Structure 1
Amino acid sequence: MLDVNRMDRADRRRRGKSDPLDTQNAARAVLSGRARARAKAGDGPVQIARMYKLTKVSAVKARTQAINQLKSVRITADPALREELAGLGNAELFRTCAGFAEVSSYEWAGEESVLQATRITLGLLAHRIGQISEQIREVDTRLARLLEGHAPQLLEVVGIGPDTAVALLIAVGDNPERLRSEASFAALCGVSPVERSSGRSQFRRLNRGGDRQANAALHRIVFTRLRVDPRTQNYFERRIKEGKTRREIIRCLKRYATREVFHLIGQPQSGTRSSGDVC
């Protein structure tokens, strides 16, 4: 099975868009040799990690929404209640609000007041935040256990944590052999250099294509190393003295990180490396 990229936009504007036309264009791409990439497999541990990642992303989004709603209700609450909750950190705020729902469930009698409804709302939102946080912790535990069994070498590299490792593994898929070289992996992650030279000026810029989640993971690796890795810091200072811009240096560092990650993903579990010496 081969992977066919999106059809040419100019051709679509001329001929229109339909399922039969897309099928014909895909067949032409395969027969002409333009579509040579093998499709990503989804029948192994990386697919399991992708399922967990989807769950975590939606849970984080729902928790953020619940937190925003709780703080919005607090702002518009009765002045006495607002004063009671003022100055509390997030953890203490959620614990205090969670107690409102438990107390209100026993004290309710007769006609409900606005203040009581506000306290119940805060309590229910706090309980929802706690439940979603527990789900996120469970998914994190499962992802960590999966990574320790499938790709522990990634976690030993400077700047790579569980979330970053999962994003890079998902970009590669369960069949990393489909990527013929580190250059193809760099193109997949959107860190292959793009020429923007003109006349005597020779420049390359960051690639705006590729898998944006994998690109963001490499971005986190680079900026983590710029904070904590002396060799990356020395590299940055040396290239600044050579006249390179910050954007150009980051592009180079992301490309070097891609090279290291590519060789680590292609290695068996016993072949681990423990340094961030790509810079």
Structure 2
Amino acid sequence: MSVSAYLSAIRLKVIEVSRPSRRDRRRLQGKNDVLDAEQAARLVLSGQATAIPKSTDGAVEMRRIIKVARDTAVKAQTQVLVSLKAMLVTADTDLRALLEPLSTPQLVAACAQLEVDQLDTPAAAMRYALIAMANRWLQLLQEIEAHTQHLTTLTREAASELVQAYGIGPDTAAEMLITFGDNSNPCAFRSSIC
């Protein structure tokens, strides 16, 4: 549990203060924790710092967690496809001629349907690797679709009007909710968008 979460749990008011600008730090003797703490206290006491830290135990945190899982799966899927296409460059001429012109879904499907009896030649090892990578890409696709479905459901529950706004899908709406946080009404900014 973070210090902020602990202090909030025991019902102390917590104010979040942005770190000092680097320019001011250099001008005022560099990094100094005592000076930083004093500056933070002055900002709070003067009323210039009023931000309440985002909670990490609400509905928005659920969306953030699922979005992180989805984003990492998308990144992994992209890396698999890049590696598959890079490996295809060194494949034998016949296999390369068969697979290179295909679109991504067709390429993955074709690689997943390749067959290998024994790993006794470089060509057999190539087919084996292409099969494995295509299957990994397909597994990641299923994972991404599951994450997307959960994220869409959770986001529609919190801000259905926002999701329905022109040009804003569930992923963008989830990102906006995550940025906004659980501390206030997450739909308070809808009127400016819708």
Identify the residue that residue 66 of structure 2 maps to in structure 1.
52
Q: Scaled by the length of structure 2, what TM-score is found? A: 0.83
Distance, in Å, in 2 between the alignment partners of 1:37 and 1:151 is 23
Identify the residue that residue 101 of structure 2 maps to in structure 1.
87
Q: Answer yes or no: is 1:169 the counterpart of 2:177.
A: yes
Of all paired residues, the percent bearing the same amino acid is 37
Unaligned runs of 5+ in 1: 183-257, 262-275
Unaligned runs of 5+ in 2: 1-13
Residue 27 of structure 1: how far off its partner (Å): 2.1
Q: Matched residue pairs, number?
A: 179
Contact 2:152 2:171 in 1 (8 A): no
Which of these residues, 151, 162, 165, is aligned with residue 157 of structure 1? 165
Which of these residues, 88, 91, 108, is aligned with residue 77 of structure 1? 91
Residue 130 of structure 1: how far off its partner (Å): 0.7
Distance, in Å, in 2 between the alignment partners of 1:59 and 1:167 is 16
Distance, in Å, in 1 between the alignment partners of 2:22 and 2:47 is 19
Distance, in Å, in 2 between the alignment partners of 1:128 and 1:21 is 52
Contact 2:111 2:134 in 1 (8 A): yes
Identify the residue that residue 57 of structure 2 maps to in structure 1.
43
Identify the residue that residue 118 of structure 2 maps to in structure 1.
108
Residue type of the alignment partner of 2:149: T
Residue 32 of structure 1: how far off its partner (Å): 2.6
Which of these residues, 123, 130, 133, is aligned with residue 125 of structure 1? 133
Residue 62 of structure 1: how far off its partner (Å): 0.9
Residue type of the alignment partner of 2:68: L
Q: Deviations over 1:163-184 (max 9, x none)?
A: 1111111111112259xx96xx
Q: Secondary structure at the match of 1:3?
A: coil
Residue 160 of structure 1: how far off its partner (Å): 1.5
Q: Secondary structure at the match of 1:139?
A: helix
Residue type of the alignment partner of 2:22: R
Residue 17 of structure 1: how far off its partner (Å): 1.7
Identify the residue that residue 64 of structure 1 maps to in structure 2.
78
Residue type of the alignment partner of 1:170: I
Q: Deviations over 1:187-220 (max 9, x none)?
A: xxxxxxxxxxxxxxxxxxxxxxxxxxxxxxxxxx
Identify the residue that residue 192 of structure 2 maps to in structure 1.
260
Distance, in Å, in 2 between the alignment partners of 1:55 and 1:166 is 13
Identify the residue that residue 5 of structure 1 maps to in structure 2.
18
Q: Scaled by the length of structure 1, what TM-score is found? A: 0.59
Contact 2:17 2:51 in 1 (8 A): yes
Q: CA RMSD in A?
A: 2.1
Residue 162 of structure 1: how far off its partner (Å): 0.3
Larger relative contact order, structure 1 or 2 (CA cutoff 8 Å, min sep 6): 2
Q: Secondary structure at the match of 1:37?
A: coil
Distance, in Å, in 2 between the alignment partners of 1:10 and 1:58 is 35
Residue 73 of structure 1: how far off its partner (Å): 1.0
Contact 2:156 2:170 in 1 (8 A): no
Residue 156 of structure 1: how far off its partner (Å): 2.2
Distance, in Å, in 2 between the alignment partners of 1:4 and 1:143 is 30
Residue 6 of structure 1: how far off its partner (Å): 2.1
Distance, in Å, in 2 between the alignment partners of 1:38 and 1:115 is 60
Q: Deviations over 1:245-268 (max 9, x none)?
A: xxxxxxxxxxxxx7524xxxxxxx
